[in-house]
A and B are shown apart, each in its own frame.
Chain A
């Protein structure tokens, strides 16, 4: 799966609308994921997962910032996410199925906040982008 020039442009346009809210959206996506897909909580036994948790906010910011970096490096996602890829492969070892769950919740978050930037074409490009990020993050698993 390759991101076309149109996909890249769609993703950049959608993320520009996110503005400085990437961290907030990251936290919201995590909250949505923990509620909708409770098995994902097994990776965070050390977290307070209640609504408004400072730990979830902090982690959401990490996720949001990483995605912002990815959006700025669409021509070399493997390079930009290499350190995170190592982390997920060797330390975190999150089962690959969970990346789809978080990706879906990120889409839901974006759709609910910026409906105008969630046309079918942009929806498709964002889905492809998140799938590509997920592939990069699991690429060194074995």
Chain B
């Protein structure tokens, strides 16, 4: 189980409060599809993913990115029980969506890169370390119910 110190929780929540979930979600999911194109395999129904411009401008990518990031926001509110919080989503990703948990790690790292992009110097090494713990915790929680 992931344990967060008071300082880590504080670093994570204060940064998260400044994230524009609407915009960042699309940016993060879009970049996942651009940087790791094989992840597009899960999104055949999303229409045009043929180029960086098409992906980053795709309305379905933006909408789904927002949904994913809202879910992450939920993680930030429940850092002490990620496995419980993501139990249902874990079953969904295994049984219905058939997503290899490796993809959760890829998404987590893209999320961290986008935070670095947006927050610059404020995204110090200790702040990054705290956020790496959250994304690793979410990835593990989402994989927890796999069978």
Which residues of A come within 8 Å of B, CB atoms?
Answer: 28, 31-32, 35-37, 51, 104-105, 107-109, 111-113, 115, 118-121, 123-124, 127
Contact = CB atoms under 8 A, between A and B. Distances in A.
Given A111-B116, A120-B52, A36 B129 contact: yes
Interface in B46-100: 52, 55-56
Contact of A123 (B34, B118, B123, B128): B34
A124 B34 contact: yes
B128 A35 contact: yes
9 contacts: A32-B129, A108-B128, A111-B113, A111-B114, A112-B121, A121-B34, A123-B31, A123-B34, A124-B35
Contact of A120 (B56, B118, B120, B128): B56
A87 to B, nearest CB: 26
A35 B125 contact: yes
Interface of B: 30-31, 34-35, 52, 55-56, 109, 112-114, 116-121, 123, 125-126, 128-129, 132
B120 A112 contact: yes
Given A123-B113, A124-B52, 19 more contacts: A28-B125, A32-B125, A32-B128, A35-B125, A35-B129, A36-B128, A36-B129, A36-B132, A51-B125, A104-B113, A105-B128, A107-B116, A108-B112, A112-B117, A112-B120, A119-B52, A120-B30, A124-B34, A127-B35
A105 B112 CA distance: 10
A108 B129 contact: no
A107 B129 contact: no
